[in-house]
Amino acid sequence: MRRLFQVSRRVINRNLNSSEPSWVNRLEPFSRVFGLDRGSAIDRRFIEQFLFSHSKFIAGDVLEIGDDQYTYKYGKNLRRTVIFAGSLPSGRSEFYAGDLTKMETFSEVGKFDCLIATNVLNFIYDFDAAVQGLALLIKPASGSVLATVSGLTQISRFDYERWGDYWRFNDASIRRVFEKYFDSVETKAYGNAPLAAASIMGLSQEEVPANLFEHHDADYQILIAIKAASPRQR
């Protein structure tokens, strides 16, 4: 019933505050919460595409930053699951309130086959130290990090006013940071000009043509995904 109410409210919001006509006549976005009050956030489509395409790595001992939603949505043959630096335990995973930039807060957590960190580094001021923390948390021979960072997006006011929303990346900048701590780094940029404009204006996935999600333009990066493995020994 609650789910039905939420869906109905989003449809009403879209109808009452239509994205037509031209956006250039507006001084305010349609949404300041990434379109979540109108439907599903545009960048979430890309996050889920990336994780689905790399789901074979989400197995065994898995740590996810913030919560364990993607661990259980895409993971198979899970052995141990951990939520790190989240706000609430889930009841199905171990919970550690640590800090990626401070090794002493996670030195006893262990090493993992897979670490999921979706849109985390934008909100950590010392993101370089946080990437090193990711490297320290995976198994040297077999572990992988699956991470995403934001590119062309609005500021998250919720995060900005609590712990900070500091950074926006492109594929070149985030690759250089990861290559300091991993020997194997793959990046993929998602987005294009109309989707970037729609995302910044706060439109939802449901309000843009589906075919736009099939085209990616490296000059308009909404989201950058990273698969990193083989942490460098320091």
3-state SS, residue 99: coil
Q: In this predicted model, what pLDDT tens digit does every residue of 113-127 receive, in sequence order? A: 999 999 999 999 999
Q: How large a percentage of the chain has pLDDT more than 90? A: 85
3-state SS, residue 49: helix
pLDDT grade for 80, boundaries at 50, 70 and 90: very high
Q: In this predicted model, what pLDDT tens digit does every residue of 127-185 receive, in sequence order? A: 999 999 999 999 999 999 999 999 999 999 999 999 999 999 999 999 999 999 999 99
Domains of the chain listed by start with CATH number: 40-231 (3.40.50.150)
- Is the Cβ–Cβ distance between 223 and 173 less than 8 Å? no
Q: In this predicted model, what pLDDT tens digit does every residue of 211-226 receive, in sequence order? A: 999 999 999 999 999 9
Per-residue pLDDT for 53 more than 80?
Answer: yes
Chain centroid to CA 60: how far?
Answer: 21
How many C-alpha atoms does 60 have within 13 Å on its Cβ side?
Answer: 13
Number of neighbouring beta carbons within 10 Å of residue 146: 26
Is the pTM higher than 0.85? The answer reads: yes
Per-residue pLDDT for 24 more than 90?
Answer: no
- Is the Cβ–Cβ distance between 129 and 110 less than 8 Å? no
First to last CA, the chain: 53
